[in-house]
Structure 1
Amino acid sequence: MELAPEGSGYRNKTRFARFYNLPELMTFFKERADIQTADMLQLPVPKAEYHDIVLTPSELQKRMVRELGERAEAVRKGNVDPTKDNMLRITTDGRKLALDERLIDERLDGTNSKARRCAETALRIWKETMEQKSAQLIFCDLSTPRKDGFDVYTELKKQLMEGGVPEKEIAFIHDANTDARKTELFAKVRRGNVRFLLGSTAKMGAGTNVQDRLIALHHLDVPWKPSDIEQQEGRILRQGNQNEKVHIYRYVTEGTFDGYSWQLIENKQRFISQIMTSKSPVRSCADLDDSTLSYAEVKALAAGNPEIKEKMELDVEVSRLKLLQANYQSQKYDLEDAIRKRYPKQLAYLKETEAQVQKDLPRYMDRKEEGSGETFRIKLSEAVYAEKEPAGQKLLSLCKELKKKGEQDWTLAGNFCGFKLFVKCKSMFSDQYEAKLCGSGSYEVELGDDALGNLTRLKNELERLPKHLEDIQAAQQDTLQDLERAKVEVTKQFPQEAELLEKQERLDVLNRRLDADANREPNRSQEPGEGLLESEPEPIQRSASQRESLQAKKELAFCR
């Protein structure tokens, strides 16, 4: 079920609903695309605070919405010539009505219009940020500037000027009709000379770099694509903005086409979010991400009918809880995998390494004096060196010989303090070498170009054996504690399971009622959408055993 386009009721509609076999689809897609989302890049952009401003329609607007419903019903039944009226015309009229009733009839007063509410909000911000000379963007795609007749741009400019804003601080992007004029206009906004910039997505989307002083952005109407909203908000949520926090205002007129518009955006974003995501794909997916949930919340605000609003709010809540449940289950599966595989494997490795270090420590202590001082000894290429300088030079020459030969594998070079000494060339394109001291275990050391310094590095690596043993033992204790915690966590159930069950049951009741109303043939004397949802919300009927079961689950969730 979905909101009808005319905004006056609900209807059944079959649509493409979900993707299946997402892992395979993503494999094909990523052969040609590299996905980088905002949560992956973590760019230093300002934090956005969203404000949804809901306008109550006038009685005239309500009558117009009912008239749109009548026209839509006539079109669906084939009672009207498509050349005289069709759903495209109804949709356009619905969008105009939601934005400003004067777009339908200029003689109306528009007392409670979006333009007036936007001007009030923008003027308040303008006065509060006078010292900072902060700027604001106002997006409106439907009603662009015109020379004759009513348009929202001119109306907004008029109301801003009546509120005290100088005309020079207000600009339309449409007046900058060349690249040079755009560059000049953008510079004025960045300097704070222009405080209000009004435009459409097409003209003020990608390439509009005016973010320096932007403090607020206003959505007057709803574009057709989620990418348009992303482009609009990308003008303010951008690197280089001097403000740490910005405000985004979304204006919706209750009970009008706005609800259907936000519904379209929500449905489109749902599919986009399943593909353009940083998360690992699952076998099938219809979950919502934060953007989709945000659009759904605005859609609910735009629905005037109380039970439709309740259904939409429950849709959002149930989807959010299911998403939390899915994430909880995913974490639970990860813990089960860790208990079964990762922690035992990690403990086995640590125990083996501990045993190796415990054997190597006395080996080093027995021949520790060979690492420095007058008793220094090192064997390199069957020759024993008692002085550090020639020994260090010989070690470097052995490394360089490996590079000349093109060898990149570990090669035995000699013996140091009872440990076999191996060296290798890290790269054929640079003078970078590594050494490895092998006893029961192995200990790698990065070598430099200082002959004496390399010998010191070998000595220091062996000196760290006691600390290395302590670190391994501490890591074992940490891993054992993590294992015990995981065993406890994996036995817990989803903490909001009772809440999810209760809201899902209420949603099922509303869906059945709305589905029955949507399928019922409307009475000709009844306005479309009227009388569908006027009664009080029906209480959920449960048997005594069901009530006891639900209460038990709530208590169990609370205890957990």
Structure 2
Amino acid sequence: MYRYVTEGTFDAYLWQTVENKQKFISQIMTSKSPVRSCDDVDETALSFAEIKALCAGDPRIKERMDLDVEVSRLKLMKADHQSKQYRLEDQLLKYFPEEIEKHKGFIKGFESDLEVLAAHPHPEDGFAGMEIRGDLLTDKENAGAALLDACKEVKTSDPVQIGSYRGYAISVEFSAWKQEYTLLLKGQMTHRATLGTDPRGNLTRIDNALAQMPQRLEAAKAQLDNLYQQQAAAKEEVGKPFLYEEELRSKNARLVELDTLLNIDGKGPAHDEAVVAKSTRPSVLDHLKRPVPPRSTDKKPKQHEEVR
């Protein structure tokens, strides 16, 4: 494919429009744009002043077009910077304090539940027992069967307390969508175990859920450390000025200057000879008030007559 362009025509402007379109398409496709919106350059139109400058071969019109694109880009970057500053301020005032306190509570809850679990261990080669509907069951088979019977009475997603196990209150909820029961062990924190149809297997699942508490405790501590790091980083970033503020100011000033020089949108200086004070302008009414001279009634001699 061959493409030909002609110097001193509109080709340069049209190719620049295509270039601008490719730029914002590339930003969207690569997810590197600092903003989430952009203008459709297909709506760009030449003003009469720009057409006049292009026809006259004025190099300032190209500078003005380039500056317009740069100023728009810098303004978008500044708006994104200000949005990030507002978001950091909100996080420092509300998000981080709330999340830090919440995870501190998680850590205390897991530590307390681990103490309860350590105080109610299984005996060697035995079973700690489970209380279901007021009955203490020390045999695994009987406890598992009683648990399944209690689950059959639960028909809603609201937790229904049915007993206790190893120092924790146990409740059961039913998911109609998944068609499965979930057992909840409630201490300072809530520990969940999905129940199946095997009585002994359900007791194993419950013990495995309790055995995951140390890992959940370490995850809460790691998340708390991460929140502290994010909070410190936010404190360093908040209040920072826009890095390209001076560049934006200078380019915007030059753009305004070029608009004035090129008389874009009629903003250019008016010519001296066109400026006439209102007080010195002749009044239209004065012209209308002038007396009308009388028309002559003498007939003009015909051209073929002799004028003496």
Give the TM-score taking structure 1 as reference length: 0.40
Query: After superposition, what is the alpha-carbon deviation per residue over 1:455-477, rounded to whole angstroms, capped at 9, x for unaligned?
Result: 22211121122222222222111
1:375 to 84, 104, 127: 127
Find the aligned partners of 1:391 and 1:471 in 2 and give their Cα distance: 32
Cα separation, partners in 2 of 1:369 and 1:511, compared to 1, 3 Å: same
Find the aligned partners of 1:366 and 1:293 in 2 and give their Cα distance: 73
Secondary structure at the aligned position of 1:409 is classed as coil
Matches within 5 A, 1:354-433: 354-369=107-122, 373-403=125-155, 407-426=156-175, 428-433=176-181
Secondary structure at the aligned position of 1:55 is classed as coil
Cα separation, partners in 2 of 1:327 and 1:448, compared to 1, 3 Å: farther
Query: After superposition, what is the alpha-carbon deviation per residue over 1:365-397, rounded to whole angstroms, capped at 9, x for unaligned?
Result: 011216x84133111111222232332233233
Secondary structure at the aligned position of 1:468 is classed as helix
Which residue identity does 1:382 align to in structure 2?
G
Matched, 1:507 2:272: no
Secondary structure at the aligned position of 1:476 is classed as helix
Cα separation, partners in 2 of 1:435 and 1:313, compared to 1, 3 Å: same
Cα separation, partners in 2 of 1:521 and 1:363, compared to 1, 3 Å: closer
The answer to whether the 8 A contact 1:357-1:440 is kept is yes
2:186 to 438, 454, 463: 438
Q: Is there any run of 5+ residues in structure 1 with no aligned partner, and where?
A: 1-52, 66-97, 99-252, 274-278, 282-286, 524-560
Query: After superposition, what is the alpha-carbon deviation per residue over 1:486-512, rounded to whole angstroms, capped at 9, x for unaligned?
Result: 011112111221221121111111111
Cα separation, partners in 2 of 1:450 and 1:329, compared to 1, 3 Å: farther
1:492 to 240, 244, 254: 240
Find the aligned partners of 1:521 and 1:420 in 2 and give their Cα distance: 84
Which residue identity does 1:334 align to in structure 2?
R
Find the aligned partners of 1:321 and 1:521 in 2 and give their Cα distance: 28
Number of the residue aligned with 1:309: 62
Find the aligned partners of 2:118 and 2:254 in 1 and give their Cα distance: 74
Secondary structure at the aligned position of 2:98 is classed as helix
The answer to whether the 8 A contact 1:425-1:434 is kept is yes
Cα separation, partners in 2 of 1:421 and 1:373, compared to 1, 3 Å: farther
Structure 1 position 306, deviation (Å) = 2.1
Cα separation, partners in 2 of 1:492 and 1:516, compared to 1, 3 Å: closer
Secondary structure at the aligned position of 1:374 is classed as coil
Which structure's CA Rg is the greater one? 2
Secondary structure at the aligned position of 1:425 is classed as strand
The answer to whether the 8 A contact 1:412-1:423 is kept is yes
Cα separation, partners in 2 of 1:519 and 1:335, compared to 1, 3 Å: closer
- Alignment: residue pair count: 250
Find the aligned partners of 2:104 and 2:268 in 1 and give their Cα distance: 71
Which residue identity does 2:76 align to in structure 1?
L
Number of the residue aligned with 1:348: 101
Secondary structure at the aligned position of 1:336 is classed as helix
Find the aligned partners of 2:84 and 2:4 in 1 and give their Cα distance: 38
Find the aligned partners of 1:453 and 1:331 in 2 and give their Cα distance: 51
Find the aligned partners of 2:248 and 2:270 in 1 and give their Cα distance: 34
Find the aligned partners of 1:520 and 1:375 in 2 and give their Cα distance: 93
Which residue identity does 1:394 align to in structure 2?
A
The answer to whether the 8 A contact 2:128-2:166 is kept is no
Query: After superposition, what is the alpha-carbon deviation per residue over 1:258-294, rounded to whole angstroms, capped at 9, x for unaligned?
Result: 489x59x98xx9xxx9xxxxx999xxxxx735x5499
Which residue identity does 1:55 align to in structure 2?
V
Identity %: 31
Matches within 5 A, 1:180-199: none
Cα separation, partners in 2 of 1:288 and 1:312, compared to 1, 3 Å: farther
Find the aligned partners of 2:118 and 2:173 in 1 and give their Cα distance: 26
Secondary structure at the aligned position of 1:440 is classed as coil
The answer to whether the 8 A contact 1:433-1:447 is kept is yes
Number of the residue aligned with 1:55: 5
The answer to whether the 8 A contact 2:88-2:238 is kept is yes
Find the aligned partners of 1:343 and 1:468 in 2 and give their Cα distance: 21
Which residue identity does 1:408 align to in structure 2?
S
Which residue identity does 1:454 align to in structure 2?
N
Q: Which has the higher contact order (CA 8 A, sep 6+)?
A: 2
Number of the residue aligned with 2:288: none
The answer to whether the 8 A contact 1:392-1:454 is kept is yes
Matches within 5 A, 1:215-230: none
Matches within 5 A, 1:152-231: none
The answer to whether the 8 A contact 2:144-2:203 is kept is yes
Q: Is there any run of 5+ residues in structure 2 with no aligned partner, and where?
A: 29-33, 272-308
Query: After superposition, what is the alpha-carbon deviation per residue over 1:413-436, rounded to whole angstroms, capped at 9, x for unaligned?
Result: 11111100011112x344222121
The answer to whether the 8 A contact 2:110-2:189 is kept is yes
Query: After superposition, what is the alpha-carbon deviation per residue over 1:122-156, rounded to whole angstroms, capped at 9, x for unaligned?
Result: xxxxxxxxxxxxxxxxxxxxxxxxxxxxxxxxxxx
Number of the residue aligned with 2:223: 475
Q: Hey, which bits of structure 1, 4+ residues long, moved more than 6 A?
A: 293-296, 519-523
Matches within 5 A, 1:264-303: 288-289=38-39, 292=41
Find the aligned partners of 2:265 and 2:235 in 1 and give their Cα distance: 50
Matches within 5 A, 1:522-541: none
The answer to whether the 8 A contact 2:261-2:268 is kept is no
Structure 1 position 295, deviation (Å) = 7.5
The answer to whether the 8 A contact 2:154-2:173 is kept is yes
Cα separation, partners in 2 of 1:394 and 1:506, compared to 1, 3 Å: same
Secondary structure at the aligned position of 2:169 is classed as strand
Structure 1 position 450, deviation (Å) = 3.6
The answer to whether the 8 A contact 2:127-2:140 is kept is no
Which residue identity does 2:146 align to in structure 1?
K
Give the TM-score taking structure 2 as reference length: 0.69
The answer to whether the 8 A contact 1:376-1:388 is kept is no
Find the aligned partners of 2:86 and 2:147 in 1 and give their Cα distance: 50
Structure 1 position 336, deviation (Å) = 0.8
